Amino acid sequence: RFATLLGAAALGFGGYHLLPDARKSEAQFAIFSALSPLFRLMDAETAHELGIELLARGVAPLEMRLDDERLRVTLWNHGSGKKQHAGVTFPNPVGLAAGFDKDAKAFPALLGSGFGFVEIGSVTPKPQPGNPKPRVFRLPEHAAVINRYGFNSEGHEPAELRLRAYREAGNPTQYARREKKNAGGAATTSDASFSPPLGVNLGKNKLTPEALAYEDYVEGVRALGAHADYLVVNVSSPNTPGLRDLQSKKFLEKLMRKVREARDGLPDGRRPPVLLKIAPDLTERDVRDVASAARKAKVDGIIVSNTTVARPDGVRAHPHGGEAGGLSGAPLMDASTEMLRLVYSATGGAIPLVGCGGVSDGKDAYRKIRAGASLVQLYTAFAYQGPGMLPKMKKELLECLDKDGFASVREAVGADHREMK
């Protein structure tokens, strides 16, 4: 089968260079869609590692078609005069969640493949191997994965080197691009060609005690913050002992205050927004506490949510259903969307939310948006379907907006809550 696909690709390559850009992108995504099932012939972690290696070498489809303006989202634009913050602009609301490109090796190719933003990490200060293998298990009947990676990370230093090399190669953060424009340069995020935002997700080392956890996150801000369009504090992975305890109101207020102070101390006036990533397994009281702490600490956004430790009945009956770790994929969609609704209500819609968990197509993304998400993220569906899913997903999202009469994604954010009043 592989030889047949390669042969067909070779026959078609002769006329490829004659195609317009839109058709070239279409052809590239078709080829990668055909090849994606081959990765499922390998075990999950080997496929993940191979995918990262290929992407790091630029083996990925290049999206040359501009996103529809209705999909564009701008967040964190506020103030006026000298204190005005122009915000961060996303060409479309569909992003890749942290956990895929843990060590910042593949993000340039991912950004070029049509995502509206990409989040690398989680990155820990010191290198750590994570949990013993096997630690990733596919549940294809449920379009799901259970993983217990355990924050395997090469540490801050290698990630910083890769991020800095990318920025110095002519790919500045949106903030730096605007500063260049203000100084007389030509770049601006109003240009259709601006790069999608790059997020940096920060984690803590396994051996760092809870009482000192804030030091790991502060160190991450100082090491990587200058290269990030936004930062994420991950306190919700189920695979690091004690990490989810940091979601308690007592720890969270201090942690996020320390992180914001470190962010405000970055050089050259850089102030990337700071987001908090939470679990889907919180009680309603927990949600109220998180919302209260987020407001007091002036958190810029909340990602809802990480993987779950819950096991729906169908998953529990699967041969891998009893494996320890976080469950992601389709079974998480309903629970994570309900958690999103609760957080949106608890924050009064005042804090931008990123909907993550179970998103596999444009209709799922639209459900998240109506529930209160300004942006959405996926991971497991991307692992199963490959980059070929992105053009279709964005088309479906536009169809959903058109059907309900919304002129933009922003108009649809939180629509379910308005209709309930």
- The residues assigned a catalytic role are 237
Residue 323 · residue 315 · CB < 8 Å = no
Measured CA to CA, the distance from residue 358 to residue 373 in angstroms comes to 14
The span from the CA of 369 to the CA of 350, in Å, is: 15
Q: How many CB atoms lie within 10 A of CB 264?
A: 12
Peptide bond just before 292 cis, omega within 30 deg: no
Query: What letter represents residue 368's amino acid?
Result: K
- Give which of 280, 235, 279, 240 is closest to 259, Cα–Cα: 235
Report the length, in residues, of the chain: 421
Strand ordering across the sheet containing 326-329: 136-139, 144-147, 326-329
Give the containing element (helix H, strand E) for 56.
Answer: helix 44-56
What's the CA gap between 386 and 380, in Å, rounded?
10
Rounded distance between C-alpha atoms, residue 195 and residue 63, angstroms: 12
Q: Which residue pairs from 64-69 have beta carbons closer than 8 angstroms and sit at least 24 positions apart in sequence?
A: 64/21, 64/22, 64/24, 64/25, 65/21, 65/22, 65/25, 65/391, 66/91, 66/192, 67/91, 67/92, 67/114, 67/116, 67/394, 68/92, 68/394, 68/398, 69/408
* Measured distance CA(311)–CA(325) in Å, rounded: 10
Cα-based torsion angle of the residue sequence 389, 395, 401, 403 in order, rounded to the nearest 10 degrees: -110
